[in-house]
Structure 1
Amino acid sequence: MNYGLGTPKHDKFYQDFAKIGLTEIKLGYLKESDRYYENIDDRKETFVFTSTLSPELSTVNSEPLEFETEIWRFGFATRHTLGYYGDSFSVLPYHQDGFVWSRLETSEKIDPVLGNDFLVLEVINDHIIIERYIEAFRFGTINEGGIRFEFMNTVSINAGYEASVIFPRHLFWKQAGSYIIQKAGQGALTYFINEILDSSPVAAPIVSFLLQNGYAYAFHLLKQKDMNWPFETEAPLTYETFKFGITFTF
């Protein structure tokens, strides 16, 4: 179970978005881990999730001119953890990625008497952008990096940072090409991290956390202008959210 606070973003959007709160439930399973060196293990978790993102869930009140959006979404993801394990307490830095389907709604309407002519044109363009997302589930991707503190191999608390992308339309070949390029880079990082694991296993979890999450976020920033980077495509709607939660392992 997670709660979070975040901000929607769009590279071409004129108005400021209202801050959103997030509630989320996940259900999944843990793949048996491989022990590399004393208390350093590699863990893989696969799960499905559903979330609600809304200004009403935020602790920050919306300003009168901020653009409000609400999202209900579902998807599946994989969490990779290379961490420090113990019988009673574990420190588990992680990175995760997955696919998500989001349905966006907004009560915002165009005000024909708002501001001067220039402002009106910009506001109208904002609504044209949003109309490409509403009244249907839109495909997207999700990445998250964070750290979990696990007690007695049963209960853990976690803090993380999520970066998600919602595509206005699904362009299969460009999306597939962008995804393959991103995964190829992750594969190269994994090879490098495995080399570090062999030579300096105690440092490997920290290096893995920094490199994998840094790479994923850099790729996310590139996709804010071109949703299927490196291919020239439309700017997507993105959400970045700080998350806190609790996990039970059975």
Structure 2
Amino acid sequence: MNPFDIMIEYWPRLLDGTLMTLKLTFMGAFIAALFSPGLALIRANTSPIAQAPLRLYISFMRGTPILGQLFLIYYGSGQFRPFLQDWGLWGFFRDPFNCALLAFALNSTAYQTEILRGGIMGVARGEIEAAKAIGMTRLQILRRVTFPHAYRIAWPALGNEIILLMKASALASVVTVFDIMGRTRQIFSRTFDFSIYLWAALIYLCITAIFVLLWRQGETRLSRHIGPRNTGRSILSPPEGPKP
């Protein structure tokens, strides 16, 4: 069969898989983005003893394969079915999409937390002191100084994390969540034509290219106050006077 004929015949299934991939990826990244700022502050500002449980969680999520984490949540939750039923959670864990989303959100939270911690640690101490000197409260410093700078520093790494999460979403097909790769396998089992995998790869490539373009636009907006000639200057630094 002609490769274009396969695409024409099966494009509704590939479109359905694409929408599932986007849903799984961006919902997981969004949930992680809600929790990672607070966890990053704990990692950056508390004592090693206080952050020990968080460090253990991050080490586990970063040190084990996401496929293993997915299996632990999806298949492992069945071992605790009586307890989950008592707590009213079995309806959540019996759905493979919910399990996949939880696995990706937990994994991405660990990575985003460490990326943001690096961004927070990269904020110049002088900027924090300058904000205190002009009377900003701690919350205002976080909102106007720390996090804007931290996200500007961490923005490229956060984009890479989301791209990696999108590619890892192909693993969701092993628990019957039919994303792009899941639909591709279904189509291949009917046609035995390897060209369908090429189409799947092109879809991933197009999604990634569009995402990178949009993410760079976001990076430009975050850095719009930094001119090409004063990149290293702080937004709290006084304007330069006339040179003699």
TM-score under structure 2 length normalisation: 0.28
TM-score under structure 1 length normalisation: 0.28
Greater percentage in strand: 1
Structure with larger Rg: 2
